[in-house]
Structure 1
Amino acid sequence: MAGNPDFDLFQLPEEHDELRSAIRDLSVKQIEPYAAEVDENERYPEEALEALNASGFNAVHIPEEYGGQGADSVATVIVIEEVSRVCASSSLIPAVNKLGTMGLILNGSEDLKKQVLPDIVNGATASYALSEREAGSDAAAMRTKATKDGDSWVLNGTKCWITNGSKSTWFTVMAVTDPEKGANGISAFMVHKDDPGFVVGPKEKKLGIKGSPTNELYFESCRIPGDRIIGEVGTGFKTALQTLDHTRPTIGAQAVGIAQGALDAAIAYTKDRKQFGKAISTFQGVEFMLADMAMNTEAARLMVYHSAARAERGEKNLGFISSASKCFASDVAMQVTTDAVQLFGGAGYTRDFPVERMMRDAKITQIYEGTNQIQRVVMSRALLRG
């Protein structure tokens, strides 16, 4: 599955179709059976991790020279989409592995890549630490600091909303190295869970994606080797923005998968459910709802694939399409899952069926990796810059 930037957007190569078939089969057989129980008990989907690690789908984006499959960006979003179709929590394993390593892949030294990336291929997981309680949408206002001390860096501060925080081995961490320079005084580092002074905080109690632990991270004079900096000093915020240009489509893919799962469930249910002597799928009002759900899901899918393809080609100025794909797809996921609950009626409001879980899971896609309000700011500024 080596990267191929020349594929036709409107007809995916055969290898991508084969990939979809393989990851769908794995998801249905080895992930979906546990999805409801993972959500109910708010536990990490160990079965999904084992299945994804065994198949190499845990981090398909990592280049072949580091032991990965070197899958192109479209192949990566297909994997995330198909896992999300049955379990959004489980899809965060490949999605956050990409988020947690993309800055390193883009700007890290060769030695640092060789230290971290094979570890991820072999089953370790990575997370991304940008946000703080008072620096969410305004990420440049972060307060976590990194100070040079001999051959080491010493980090002090707190990060929040860290997806898979208590399960990851490696963390891309943004910290202030020069407070006088604003965004240009932020640097990026790779922190290992065993580094002295690194502490994982308690798990958040969340509305959805309950199988994915979200934690605070505490850096208490956390000392890391000097060569764990990503790129040059002061380039961390640029690395963070570059990373999001490449990973926002993965959140779009997660949203598309959630929407598709809800649509599939709604079609099956409305064909089976009888009222007034006939299947409710034959009522025009229901037909129109299903048509709109499918139309919007397909549009979102194409935008996500288009965004991923442009990133794969190494195009510049990805801000608009990256934000647009994430924003549109997540809005679609929220609408489609809400409509699915409506089509299930009272049954949709119970945990006996998966659509209420999908509706709860869909909501976060409008919030993380930049709220959809921030996405619209990014898009409008890209337009106004011409």
Structure 2
Amino acid sequence: MVKISVMEKEKQQQGIMEIPQWWTCPEGHEELQKAAHVLGEKELLPRALVSDQERKYPRESLREVAKAGYSAVTIPVEAGGLEDGFTAFAVLSEVFAQYCPSTTMCWVMHMTTAHTIYEAGTEEQRQRLLPRLQAGHVGGLAFSEKATGGHFWNVGSEAKRNESGYSLDAEKSFVTSGGEADFYLVATTSPETNDPDNLMFLLVENDQKGVEAFPFDAMGLRGNASGPMNFKEVQVSLENRIGGEGGMGYFNDNTIDPLFLLGSAACWVGIAQGALNMAINGAKRTVHADTGSSVADYQVIRHELAKAQIKIDSARSMLYRTAEAMDRCQKEGRELSECLYPLWQLKTHAADMVIDVTNAALQVSGGRGYMTGQVEKFVRDGRAGAIMGPTNEVLREWVGRTLIEVPWLD
């Protein structure tokens, strides 16, 4: 009986085109991708709708990601990272987003925090802080300010030097994991520095006096607690200044922007694939009683699915090509800012693509897709990409200025 079933299955499979694995996963990362899918399906997906509907921070999911060993994958292997860490980061981000985008965006910001501490911090700071992150503590970035909007690299707040370190006064507009992270890397300025670049990074614990977080109520990514935060006369010791008293613009271009753009673009690719997967499964299962045909039996539906997948794969190809280039830069001791131009294109394309694909997934899913659930959530979550700073309009301007050979940031 078993032999007949196997033979019948093989017969049914004849003529079905297999999608090459190399097309959907960079070579050498197949097992990592499989492990990420297992983790996503087991730990992230069951909590995703609750996180969205109750605006609940996905702390349990983040703990499971940390337990799996994915809390600092981009730092060097000898410090606890993974081989080809930027490509691994992209693979994990894409897969995780297929199950819970809120968890993924919190993790992307956490990863960027960890990498910045490694790159800009002292050896003492690495030894003190990275083990906390690897043990499950969450790090966050506090950069954006209301006065400068999506131009998060322009910071107006300041931290004045005093006998004990610095007194920080800052009002931040969007802080992922705001009020939930264990500590934050706060971008501010130093009025005392002699460096023409007065940008400075200070590490602030969540429970310090003067730290205040506000609720986050948004269209999508409802679980990631990206609300405003105030830092009122927060005393920061000298040992918690990450990098110099000024001069941190270098790390914006060579650490923070590259990781954030890569990780967020991977998130938009994952959201699009997750939404399309839901639409495909629904189209195959849903049968019209009056015709006896499934939704997937209609040619127009198959064409919409094909167009959506081609868009996803175009962004995925850019994603992994860029991630692999970043790994080469790191191995060869070159600066990651060399990859900013493709990263601008990647983020813009992925954020535009996810809007198109999630809309198509909703249309294919029909009335069921419009009801509160995974497809509807993917539509809302994916819409954040194009307006998340640097916005797509800003990035297109930088690409355009580069094409006509004028300074991109004026």
Q: Normalising by structure 1, report the TM-score.
A: 0.90
With over 3 angstroms needed to count, the CA separation of the structure-2 counterparts of 1:183 and 1:130, relative to structure 1, is: farther
Partner-residue secondary structure (3-state), 1:212: coil
Counterparts of 1:288-327 in structure 2, within 5 Å, are 288-314=303-329, 315-316=334-335, 317-327=338-348
- Separation of aligned partners in 2, 1:26 and 1:10: 18
Shift of 1:162: 0.2
Instruction: Show the counterpart of 1:356.
Output: 376
Moved over 6 A (4+): 8-11, 179-183
> What's the CA shift for 1:36?
1.5
Post-superposition offset of 1:140: 4.9
Which piece of structure 1 moves more, 93-102 or 34-43?
Answer: 93-102
- Inter-partner Cα distance in structure 2 for 1:146 and 1:266: 50
CA contact (8 A) 2:315 2:350 kept: yes
5+ residue gaps in structure 2? 1-21
Q: Which amino acid aligns with 2:202?
A: F
Residues in 1 aligned to 2:89 and 2:252: alpha-carbon distance in whole angstroms? 20
Contact 1:68 1:121 in 2 (8 A): no
1:377 corresponds in structure 2 to: 397
Q: For 2:225, which of 213, 238, 251 is the aligned residue?
A: 213
How many Å apart are 1:234 and its aligned residue?
2.1
Structure 1 partner of 2:362: 341
Give, in whole Å, the separation in 1 of the partners of 2:41 and 2:156.
43
Q: Report deviation, 1:211.
A: 1.4
CA gap of 1:129–1:9, structure 2 versus 1, over 3 A, is farther
Tell me, what secondary structure is at the counterpart of 1:278?
coil
Q: Which residue of 2 aligns with 1:120?
A: 133
Deviations 1:312-341 (A, max 9, x none): 222542221111111111111111111111
Partner of 1:279: 294
1:24 aligns with 2:42: no
CA deviations over 1:281-331 (Å, ceiling 9, x no partner): 222221111111100101111111112112222254222111111111111
Q: Secondary structure at the match of 2:149?
A: coil
Partner of residue 212, structure 2? 200
Deviation string for 1:191-238 (max 9, x for gaps)?
2223343x1321121111111111222121111111322322221233
- Change beyond 3 A, Cα 1:22–1:11: closer
Inter-CA distance 358–65: structure 2 relative to 1 (3 Å threshold): same
Give the deviation of 1:64 after TM superposition. Answer: 4.0
Letter in 2 for 1:35: A
SS of residue in 2 equivalent to 1:102 = helix
| More moved, 327-336 vs 312-321 | 312-321
Distance 1:35 1:172 in 2: 27
What is the aligned partner in structure 1 of residue 69 from structure 2?
Answer: 56
- Asked whether the 8 Å contact 2:25–2:33 carries over to 1, the reply is no
Aligned counterpart, 2:352: 331
Could you say what secondary structure the match of 1:214 adopts? coil
Output the amino acid matched with 2:49: A
One-letter code of the match for 1:231?
A: G
Q: Output the amino acid matched with 1:226.
A: L
Structure 2 CA distance for partners of 1:318 and 1:42, relative to 1, 3 Å: same
- The more displaced of 118-127 and 39-48 is 39-48
**CA displacement at 1:264 relative to structure 2:** 0.7
Within the candidate set 168, 181, 184, 1:171 is matched to 184
More strand by share: 1
Q: Once the 2 structures are TM-superposed, how far is the Cα of residue 10 of structure 1 from its aligned partner?
A: 9.3
Which residue of the other structure, out of 232, 235, 239, is the alignment partner of 2:244?
232
Corresponding residue pairs, total: 376
By how many angstroms is 1:278 displaced?
A: 1.2
Matched residue SS, 2:171: strand
Alignment RMSD: 2.3
Structure 1 residues 360 and 177, CA, compared in 2 at 3 Å: closer, same or farther?
same
Following TM superposition, by how much is the alpha carbon of 1:355 offset from its aligned partner in structure 2, in angstroms? Answer: 0.5
- Unaligned runs of at least 5 residues, structure 1: 1-7
Of 64-73 and 17-26, more deviation after overlay is shown by 64-73
Confirm or deny: 8 A CA contact 1:129 1:174 kept in the other structure: yes
Q: For the structure 1 residues 101 and 91, does the alpha-carbon distance in structure 2 shift closer, same or farther, using more than 3 Å as the test?
A: same
CA 1:184 to 1:46, structure 2 compared with 1: closer, same or farther past 3 Å? closer
- Which moved further from structure 2: 24-33 or 289-298? 24-33
Q: Is the 8 A contact 1:300 1:325 kept in 2?
A: yes
How much has 1:268 moved relative to structure 2? Answer: 1.0
* 2: CA distance, partners of 1:222 / 1:297: 44
Which SS does the other structure have where 1:366 is aligned? helix
Residue 5 of structure 2 corresponds to none
CA distance in 2, matches of 1:171, 1:71: 26
Largest Rg, 1 or 2: 2
Question: Whole-Å Cα distance in 2 between the matches of residues 358 and 305 of structure 1?
Answer: 22
Deviates more, 1:148-157 or 1:312-321: 312-321
Checking the alignment, whether the CA contact within 8 Å between 1:255 and 1:365 is kept in structure 2 is: yes
**2:113/2:139 contact within 8 Å kept:** yes
1:109 aligns with 2:122: yes
Instruction: Work out whether 1:152 is the aligned partner of 2:173.
Output: no
**Cα distance in 2 between the residues matched to 1:148 and 1:79:** 40
> How far apart are 1:54 and its partner, in Å?
1.7
Give the conservation status (yes or no) of the 8 Å contact 2:105–2:224. yes
Identity of paired residues, percent? 25
**Which AA in structure 1 matches 2:400?**
S
In the TM superposition, residue 161 of structure 1 has moved relative to its aligned partner by 0.5
Task: Give CA-to-partner distance per residue, 1:153-212, whole Å, 9 cap, x none.
Answer: 111121121001111112111112139999722212222223343x13211211111111
Q: Which moved more, 1:68-77 or 1:36-45?
A: 68-77
